[in-house]
Structure 1
Amino acid sequence: MKIPERTPIAISSDSYFFEKDKSDSILILGVGNYLMGDEGIGVHVIQEMYKRELPKYVDILDGGTGGFLLLSCFQVYPTIIFVDATMDGKPAGTISLIRPKFASDFPSALSVHDVGLKDMIEAVYLMEKVPDIHLFTVSIEELNPMTIALSQKVKDAIPKLINQILEQSEKLHLKLS
């Protein structure tokens, strides 16, 4: 069943993350700068997922360039799947799954958001309870400032990436149950 187009709802308060028990939920967190072309792939993926009917145990969040503002997510979700772009030399649109243990395991900085993201991840590892973190990356070839358009190869990767995210989420949810 396809859900009709909806206007995304902005979350303006950290209280959202504490409104219900998230102990059996998985957060899909898309990060990136939406105004930098392919670098915003994480945000584009979340927007596409928003159009779908998702399992009840999956929450999605457009993390944008949030950095430390996203720390509250790490306090309530046992499992978080990041989606981000990387310039790793692989062909554009290549999807990889990484199990980062340290901030240095995240892709090299692409824009200002990654500085905040890496700092935030270091802060997460100082917390008493650290979630199980998974990172899906999509390889990109260049940054294109001041555009929301994705290159065709990166855009074409979105359906496959969403399927991989949902498959991984199902596997991880079975472990939580």
Structure 2
Amino acid sequence: MAVLIMGIGNYLMGDEGVGVHAAQRLAKETLPEGIDVLDGGTGGFFLMEYFENYPVVILIDATLDDRPTGSIRVIEPRFASDFPRAMSTHDIGLRDLVEGLAILGKLPKIYLFAVSIEMIQSQQIELSPELERVMPELLEQVKNMALRQNLELV
């Protein structure tokens, strides 16, 4: 196991589930050996084993910020404080998970693809037109990062 792409989010809350949508789409593609994909949903601490078992974890998650909807940023968080201030509804679990792994000395290399959203839409499984438009770019960026990291580990 080398690189894990993990989509985070709540599938039932519209754009907040962008990470889950991305992971589900990537899981349908044929990726090189050594790159795995996981729909992490809102797993929080239940995802700890994945962070412990992979040297590189690429996260995809939504963030509520002042950037235009669909903006994509890549962050390399090493501590909970490195995450965007306004992550989505499950950020506390993810931040705490990263902080705990850092304290234990088991934190893998993490890349967070933070995708800006305008709002959380309850009981909606579709992404907004703005996020559907940027999805191909997001998937391409994530795949390129995974391929680079996988090659570095070989």
Q: Which runs of 5+ in 1 are unaligned?
A: 1-21
Counterparts of residues 17-32 of structure 1 (less than 5 Å): 22=1, 25-32=2-9
Residue 110 of structure 1 corresponds to 88
* Distance in 2 (alpha carbons) for counterparts of 1:80 and 1:51: 19
Q: Secondary structure in 1 aligned to 2:39?
A: strand
Aligned counterpart for 1:66 among listed residues 31, 38, 43 = 43
Residue 172 of structure 1 corresponds to 149
Q: How many pairs align?
A: 153
Give the superposition deviation at 1:97.
Answer: 0.6
The answer to whether the aligner puts 1:79 opposite 2:81 as a matched pair is no
Residue 153 of structure 1 corresponds to 130
Identical-pair percentage: 46
RMSD: 1.1
Give the superposition deviation at 1:128.
Answer: 3.1
Residue 49 of structure 1 corresponds to 26
Aligned counterpart for 2:106 among listed residues 129, 150, 157 = 129
* Distance in 2 (alpha carbons) for counterparts of 1:158 and 1:109: 19
The answer to whether the aligner puts 1:39 opposite 2:16 as a matched pair is yes
Give the superposition deviation at 1:106.
Answer: 1.4
Listed one character per residue, the Cα deviations across residues 33-72 of structure 1 (whole Å, up to 9, x for unaligned) are 1111000000000111112111111100000000000000
CA contact (8 A) 2:78 2:98 kept: no
Q: Which stretch of the first structure deviates more once superposed, 125-134 or 66-75?
A: 125-134
| Equivalent residue letter for 1:140 | I
Task: Compare relative contact order (CA 8 Å, sep 6+) and give the higher one, 1 or 2.
Answer: 2
* Distance in 1 (alpha carbons) for counterparts of 2:28 and 2:151: 24
Bigger Rg, which one? 1
Residue 69 of structure 2 corresponds to 92
TM-score between both structures, scaled by the size of structure 2: 0.95
> Larger strand proportion, structure 1 or 2?
2
